[in-house]
Amino acid sequence: MDGNGRWAKGKNRPRVFGHKNGVKSVREVTEAAAELGVRYLTLYAFSTENWNRPKIEVEALMILLVDTIRNEIKTLNENNIRLLTIGNPDALPASTRKELDKGIRATADNDGLQLILALNYSSREEIQNAFCRMLADYDAGLLNSGNLNDNTIRNYLYTSAIPDPDLLIRTSGEYRISNFLLWQIAYTEMYFTETLWPDFHKESFYKAILDFQQRERRFGKTSEQIISPI
């Protein structure tokens, strides 16, 4: 969800103004995903690298996150949306963790759209932590290297209970992954748009979905194999 700062700068407003307006896009895209029957929607909300931003911006983002979760719980429940998170929450402020935990508990019984917030998230850190846990289990005799496979590694990732994404949307004209779900996006379709995140509304999301639906996903096979798998 990139481009909040540039959007605000273009209007001669502080970066925080862009983040606040970006929340409206979060709401619209979440609603659109739920209406379309999307099962999982992951929003890269705050990376481990984002701590390097100006302190006042980071503090404002944490306050905005708390307020947004608190204000949206009722709507999430009304729309059967479950809130989840991936990343390392330990470094988040106590107030942020408290509100996040409250939102996760309040929506735990919902079985519609799974809304996943990537908070204090780094894919490299996720993979590193996975390997450390695997080594610890190996030393404890709980893991056998002889049958190590893709599913084994998957079980040690933050996303062990979440399917790999079908579509990754990157806004604001940036053409990079930025340390996001590096293991999980091996066969994910990419969609890049020049639209800044605060201007990315339902129609923008629909456009991305339509583009995705027109693609042929071969997963290493030929077109003929996809059409006639026998």
The order of strands in the sheet holding 114-121 is 40-47, 114-121, 82-86
- For 168, the 3-state DSSP assignment is strand
The catalytic site residues sit at 2, 50
Alpha helix locations (H) across the chain?
4-9, 15-36, 55-78, 94-106, 123-139, 150-154, 202-213, 223-227
Distance CA 50, CA 202 (A): 27
- Compute the Cα dihedral for 167, 122, 120, 100 and give only its sign: positive
Helix axes 202-213, 15-36, angle to 10 degrees: 50
